[in-house]
Chains A and B, each alone.
Chain A
Amino acid sequence: MTNELDLNTLSDDELVEQMHDDLYDGLKDEIEEGVRILLGRGWKPYEVLTKSLVAGMQIVGADFRDGILFVPEVLMSAGAMKGGMAILRPLLAETGAPKIGKMVIGTVKGDIHDIGKNLVTMMLEGAGFEVIDLGINNAVEKYLAAIEEHQPDIIGLSALLTTTMPYMKVVIDTLKEKGIRSDYIVLVGGAPLNEAFAESIGADAYCRDAAVAVETAKSFMARRQGSILAREVA
């Protein structure tokens, strides 16, 4: 006899609650199964994303910030969410889920660390952003090419090392030289960074963690859309 819970027997509300628990515990297979069940019951992909995955990761994020969860546990949760996202991503594109904005993100030249960046990417996708992830070790030319190709609203720069974080200034200074700095919101993040550094290099904001990155990106987009709307009305 097995004590394993059959997710199919749960009501929608119970299943969503169970998925929050499974996400917290980093159970990728269960999350994938839960996503498929909800889709099978006629849920829209965007609803599955926001009510089960994003809401579940918000609990994980809050407990991480409060020191209840640590990096390994968060990474396991993120891995579980990634499994669910892989199912939902193509469906979200097909069903025209709302898009808040577009971001080009990458770890800067000389740096191969991407754990924080990957978390930010996934949480932003979950929040309705289209994210173009350039990966690791990106020279300024790669950012420029991606900006030209994708025309993002936001540029995200990530670095884990004291020795590589100065390269963020190289990217921002290049945007200034080309006269396009004010066309984009520039967010920076990474363990050795702080607000003073972000200000000193001319970034728009420093994002301490993935949850802050999402809130900051949303807030800048709201202001940007507000100002566009204001211009149109005027």
Chain B
Amino acid sequence: MAGPTMIPTPPETPEPPRTLVVACGALAREFLLLKELNGWDHMSIVCLPAKLHNRPERIPEAVRAKIRKERSAYDRVLCLYGDCGTGGLLDKVLAEEGVERIEGAHCYEFFLGSEEFTALADDDPATFFLTDYLVRHFDSLIIKGLGLDRFPQLLETYFGNYTQVVFLAQVPDPALVAKAERAAARLGLPLVVRQTGLRGMERFLARPA
């Protein structure tokens, strides 16, 4: 007589860890796009204002405060920031908090990839970078942010050493390219457009815990 039959149960698919992404506000739109495309329902984002870049010394503690405020509701926290002029202090805070950051000194680097970014910076250090975010907010962040609306005579002081604008375009958008062309013209510099996509960000966010 045959014994009782065991019906095999399918292996359980573990739930992905609830993940919080602490990010620069300049990357929010790009994160939400990736989240939608990849179905990352386990991921949430909380942002700090992009204008903190004008006071980089404030970024590390602002990031720490955000992590501490939100982390109890999550299994994992990731950081979407470059070093962003903090001179290594952001990485020190993240090491203390046990949070992983995307590699790169700036968002330009993780959009373009380290190798290409380094080659471009070595080839022409006088490159002014724009991203989708910076193009969208060129007037408020660059023109008004640097006071060029009030003191247009400072254009030479700020941009006199630059030789080109490179627009690192994350999402193909002819309207943004046209806006980048106007921005470069306002700075009196030639424009180069490089389509970068969001692969660097996507690889980092998809990395297993």
Residues of A with Cβ closer than 8 Å to B?
A: 26, 70-73, 75-76, 79, 110-115, 136-137, 160-165, 191-194, 197
Contact: B105 with A163, CB < 8 Å? yes
Contact: B146 with A72, CB < 8 Å? yes
Contact: B121 with A163, CB < 8 Å? yes
> Is B125 in the interface zone, CB < 8 Å from A?
yes
Output the nearest chain A residue to B157 by Cβ-Cβ distance.
Answer: A75
B-side interface mostly: loop
> Is B17 in the interface zone, CB < 8 Å from A?
no
Contact: B121 with A73, CB < 8 Å? no
Output the nearest chain A residue to B83 by Cβ-Cβ distance.
Answer: A162
Residues of the B chain whose Cβ atoms lie less than 8 Å from the Cβ of A164: 125
How many contacting A-B pairs (Cβ < 8 A)?
Answer: 65
> Is B141 in the interface zone, CB < 8 Å from A?
no
* Distance of A111 Cα from B161 Cα, bound (Å): 10
Contact: A111 with B125, CB < 8 Å? yes
With A161-B105, A162-B105, A162-B106 already in contact, the answer to whether A194 and B161 are too (CB < 8 A) is no
Residues of the A chain whose Cβ atoms lie less than 8 Å from the Cβ of B147: 70-73, 75
* Distance of A71 Cα from B154 Cα, bound (Å): 11
Output the nearest chain B residue to A200 by Cβ-Cβ distance.
Answer: B88
> Is B48 in the interface zone, CB < 8 Å from A?
no
Contact: B105 with A136, CB < 8 Å? no
Output the nearest chain A residue to B88 by Cβ-Cβ distance.
Answer: A197
* A-B residue pairs, 6 tightest by C-beta: A72-B147, A192-B87, A192-B85, A112-B161, A162-B105, A162-B83
Q: Report B160 CB to chain A, min CB distance, Å.
A: 9
* Distance of A165 Cα from B126 Cα, bound (Å): 16
**Those of B185-204 within 8 Å (CB) of chain A:** none
Residues of the A chain whose Cβ atoms lie less than 8 Å from the Cβ of B105: 161-163
Output the nearest chain B residue to A107 by Cβ-Cβ distance.
Answer: B161
> Is B162 in the interface zone, CB < 8 Å from A?
yes
Contact: A114 with B88, CB < 8 Å? no
Residues of the B chain whose Cβ atoms lie less than 8 Å from the Cβ of A115: 157-158
Contact: A76 with B161, CB < 8 Å? no
Residues of the A chain whose Cβ atoms lie less than 8 Å from the Cβ of B113: none
Residue of B87, B89, B146 touching A71 (CB-CB under 8 A): B146
Residues of the A chain whose Cβ atoms lie less than 8 Å from the Cβ of B158: 115
